[in-house]
Amino acid sequence: MIGLPYSMKLAGLPLGILLLVGVAYVTDYSMILLIRGGEMSGTSTYQALVSRTFGFPGYLLVSLLQFLYPFAAMISYNIITGDILPKIFQRIPGVTSRSILADRRFAILSTTIVITLPIALYRNMQRLGKVSLMSLLLTVIVLLIVITRASSLAFTIPQTEEAWVFAKWNAIQAIGVMSFVFMCHHACFLIYGSLEKGTVRSWSNITHVSMIISFIISIQYSIFGYVSFTGFTQGDLFENYCKDDNVVTVGRFFYVMTIILTYPMECFVAREVISNTFFGGTLSTVHHFTITLLVVSVTTVISLFSDCLGMALELNGVLSATPLVFIIPTACYLKLSTDHWYHISNAMPCLILLLGIIIMPVGFVMAILYPQECSHGKEMFYCFLNSSLMDVSVGHLYQSNSSKIK
């Protein structure tokens, strides 16, 4: 969610909010469509559903996408951990920027070995129920901190040009980020299968409530995060805050805990895809341990050499999340529906399918051709300015003289 203010920067705040509403609605609608398609086809996994409707080529495609999304998400979570933990450690007396505790690679490796890998080795996702609740509560606490800091930062940090325009031409890139944030289709059947009484009706109710809660939290992250930093907003929102901000240090700690606790859930899904594709859905203890260790190791190695979160969010959003949210669930439903695709009852699935087909290639091309600036590990210029200078007039001077700011 700390990438959502960045999506507002890409799209423009007013249009960004409208797009966020649209992506949340599409996510909710397609999650229900996915389970309904499973019931209609008598299948219990995303892969089996696509295989039943589009054969072996569809099965291979969805397997690849289902693996790539959590795989890339795990890399993103490690990048966030590497961004945040060193800044927390540097608040400890005696720890400097040259200390091993301030090294992002040490942060990633240590949390992987001590926390994420042991939790990822669980075999049953139900055991992560309390972890999920804890993660949600911590996310709310972090949101309150973001809101609190916005009340002061919005008036002290100079606003950038076109900070409040209605729309920007990077809007499709913003959809990629939003799709990444909301996408959980790869885990739908896993979660649906863990329900005591799983029906489409109960799933719909759970999905609606979960999506409403997620949207409320997301819209506040988006608005208050963007209002604080406008055009300076980074892909990782916590990169915008100064290291000596004690309140934000607490927020950083809580947020990195949510990320560390979420990482194993993505590993569950990646492992499940491998299990279904190559082992018939059942893993021996040796295979379970080996696959988990391999997936965690590879994502960790990649994240050690990748530190730009914004690009990771964009590419994973348009290449993995968009087809899994917009294209595949609607295509499967339309194929299974007894009505013709042009029937009025299929108007919404057709519209979502068309949007996905447009967003995916255009978003990818724009992400490659127009990459956003990434300032990982650097203190923003306003952290070095004397607070007495941070008034409206000086803010206007910096805005019109951006070269001097740099």
Structural domain boundaries of the chain?
A: 4-152+159-375
Three-class SS state of 90: coil
Tokens read off for 294: 């391999």
Question: Angle, to 10 degrees, between the axis of helix 129-156 and the axis of helix 246-278?
Answer: 140
Decide: residue 226, CB within 10 A, 0-12 exposed, 13-18 middle, 19+ buried: buried
CB-based burial, 308-323: b 16+ in 10 Å, e otherwise: bbbbbbbbbbbbbbbb
- Average of per-residue pLDDT across 15-21: 96
Cβ count near 260 (within 10 Å): 22
- So what's the pLDDT on residue 374? 67
- The type of residue at 11 is A
- So what's the pLDDT on residue 333? 92
Decide: residue 209, CB within 10 A, 0-12 exposed, 13-18 middle, 19+ buried: exposed
- Check: CB of residue 217 under 8 Å from CB of residue 140: yes
Residue 287 belongs to what H/E stretch?
helix 285-304
pLDDT category at 126 given cuts 50, 70, 90 is low
Q: Which stretches of 163-261 are assigned E, i.e. beta strand?
A: none
Cα angle: 206, vertex 225, 403; to 5 degrees: 150
- Average of per-residue pLDDT across 212-233: 92
Query: Among 195-199, 255-259, 343-347, where is mean pLDDT lowest?
Result: 195-199
pLDDT category at 196 given cuts 50, 70, 90 is confident
Supply the DSSP symbol for 173.
Answer: H
The whole-angstrom separation of Cα 173 and Cα 103 is 31
pLDDT at 39 over 70: yes
pLDDT category at 128 given cuts 50, 70, 90 is low
pLDDT category at 401 given cuts 50, 70, 90 is very low
Percent of the chain with pLDDT over 70: 92
pLDDT at 290 over 80: yes
Topology classification of domain 4-152+159-375:
Amino acid/polyamine transporter I (1.20.1740)
- Check: CB of residue 352 under 8 Å from CB of residue 26: yes
- Average of per-residue pLDDT across 41-69: 90
pLDDT at 399 over 70: no
Of residues 204 and 159, which shows the higher confidence score? 204
pLDDT category at 405 given cuts 50, 70, 90 is very low
Closest CA to 164 of 371, 17, 383: 17
- Average of per-residue pLDDT across 129-152: 83
Query: Among 75-79, 165-169, 180-184, 367-371, where is mean pLDDT lowest?
Result: 367-371
Percent of the chain with pLDDT over 90: 37
pLDDT at 111 over 80: yes
Q: Kindly report the length of the chain.
A: 406
pLDDT at 344 over 60: yes
Query: Is the Cα torsion angle 237, 243, 245, 249 positive or negative in sign?
Result: positive
Cβ count near 39 (within 10 Å): 16
The whole-angstrom separation of Cα 333 and Cα 168 is 33
- So what's the pLDDT on residue 47? 85
